[in-house]
Structure 1
Amino acid sequence: MSRLRLLAMLLGLFGLGACGAVNPTMPLAPNVDLQRYSGRWYVIANIPYFAERGKVGSYFDISVEGDRFRDVYWGRSDFASEPSSFTMTGYVVPDTGNAYWRESPLWPIYLSYLIVYVDQEYRYALVGYPGHGYGWVLSRTAEMDEATYQGLLQRLAQAGYDISQFRRVPQRQEDIGKPGFQ
């Protein structure tokens, strides 16, 4: 999919209302250390939407410099294919404990990136979006045990999410077709 086509779909999905300031509609992580948050995050589960639906082995690479960041998504249509990517850049909203980001696929469009939770060791994170229509369960490793996954889903439920909408993202060939996976 071309970048221009992806951008057009993003604009249609999030609408021009995403251009203005948006207040978070859920509690955020109290204080995110941006340097510790930087790096690779595997997508363990998400609420599937067009850009990530059906992708396998997906992850985000996040780099932060000051209050600016770069968020690169990588995903494959199958495990035999090369990964494709799209990049968002943005800034951290001041006075939010570094948990509220505004990211853009193309100026002047900005979308909200809400860090709902990150554990003390920065192994797991939950990312949301105003209105609860999009959400992600992230991990520093490609695999997550079921007890940890269920505990993170409960945190999302407490933040107002309908956790039945989340689907696990296959990170290994043997995950494909398992219950609860895309």
Structure 2
Amino acid sequence: MMKQTVVRWTRRQQFLLSLALAGVLLGGCAGVDSRGEVPTVAAVDLSRYVGTWYEIARLPMWFQRHCVDSRAIYTLRSDGAVGVHNECATDAGERDQIEGVATVVDAKTNAKLNVQFDNWFARLFGSSREGNYWILDLDAEYRTALVGTPDRRYLWILARTPQLEEPAYRRLVELSRSVGYPVDDLVRDRRPAP
């Protein structure tokens, strides 16, 4: 027959346990963004969105830390997903590239996609959270785009041409600021002028 042990907590132990639980709960709330959901464009025609986009500025992901001249090439795949080819010239004069696949998360707008890259990190730790590529702004001619992550950690200002006129750039920066991205940390690409 098993002997049952009754654990009796002192008031001090109860207080310390309550304090620890409150810390865990508050710590979990710290990751919740109180600014609300990031707004996306109403609709994206993926057949117009595919092609080459030049990165003008970014809040970079870790693998972009050495990039100075980046571009992304998107293609429509037969399975309905979007092929992603990212490449950049690095500050050491080398060329980095990575392949990935973007799947639509919000089929109503096509403005929220989940991108998974084919690299050791993704294979080891799995894909990033759903909807990590949100199209926040897209001009009517599909010449400029603003893309960000819903947690406001990463952001990309993109254009169909290697250079973007300053008024268009400023507009996208101010839009980013208005929805809560830390635009003071933006890194502009340093590609040579034409």
Partner residue in 2 for 1:29? 41
2:106 counterpart (86, 91, 94): 94
Matched, 1:85 2:97: yes
Q: Which stretches of structure 1, 4 residues or longer, exceed 3 Å deviation after superposition? A: 78-81
Q: Which runs of 5+ in 2 are unaligned?
A: 1-35
Q: Is the 8 A contact 1:44 1:171 kept in 2?
A: no
Q: How many residues align?
A: 150
**TM-score normalised per structure 1:** 0.75
Residues 31-66 of structure 1: per-residue CA shift (max 9 Å, x gap):
001011001000100013321123122100111236
The yes-or-no answer on 1:145 pairing with 2:193 is no
Match of 1:75 in 2: 88
Provide the C-alpha distance between the structure 1 equivalents of 2:60 and 2:116, rounded to a whole number of angstroms.
20
Aligned AA for 1:127?
V
- Contact 1:56–1:79, Cα closer than 8 Å, also in 2: no
Q: C-alpha distance in 1, partners of 2:190/2:108?
A: 33
CA distance in 1 between counterparts of 2:162 and 2:65 reads 18
> Cα–Cα, structure 1 residues 94 and 148, in superposed 2: closer, same or farther, change >3 Å?
closer
Q: Secondary structure at the match of 1:84?
A: strand
Give the fraction of aligned pairs with identical amino acids, expressed as a percent: 28
d(CA) in 1 for partners of 2:163, 2:142: 15
Give the drift of 1:120. Answer: 0.3
**More relative contact order in 1 or in 2 (CA 8 Å, sep 6+)?**
1
Q: Which residue of the partner structure matches residue 139 of structure 2?
A: 119
Between Structure 1 and Structure 2, whose CA radius of gyration is higher?
Answer: 2
User: Is the contact between residue 106 and residue 113 of structure 2 (CA under 8 Å) also seen in structure 1?
Assistant: no
Q: Which amino acid aligns with 1:73?
A: N
- TM-score normalised over the length of structure 2: 0.70
Partner of 2:3: none
1:109-144 deviations in whole A, cap 9, x for unaligned?
A: 134111111100000000000210100000000001
The answer (yes or no) to whether the contact 1:47–1:134 under 8 Å persists in 2 is: yes
Structure 2 counterpart SS, 1:109: coil
Which of these residues, 46, 62, 67, is aligned with residue 58 of structure 2?
46
Pair 1:67–1:110, CA change in 2 (3 A): farther
Q: Does 1:167 align with 2:187?
A: yes
The unaligned stretches of length 5 or more in structure 1 are 1-23, 175-182
Match of 1:110 in 2: 128
Secondary structure of residue in 2 paired with 1:95: coil
Aligned-pair RMSD on alpha carbons? 2.2
Once the two structures are TM-superposed, the CA of residue 165 in structure 1 deviates from its matched residue by 1.4
Please tell me whether residue 129 in structure 1 is matched to residue 155 in structure 2.
no
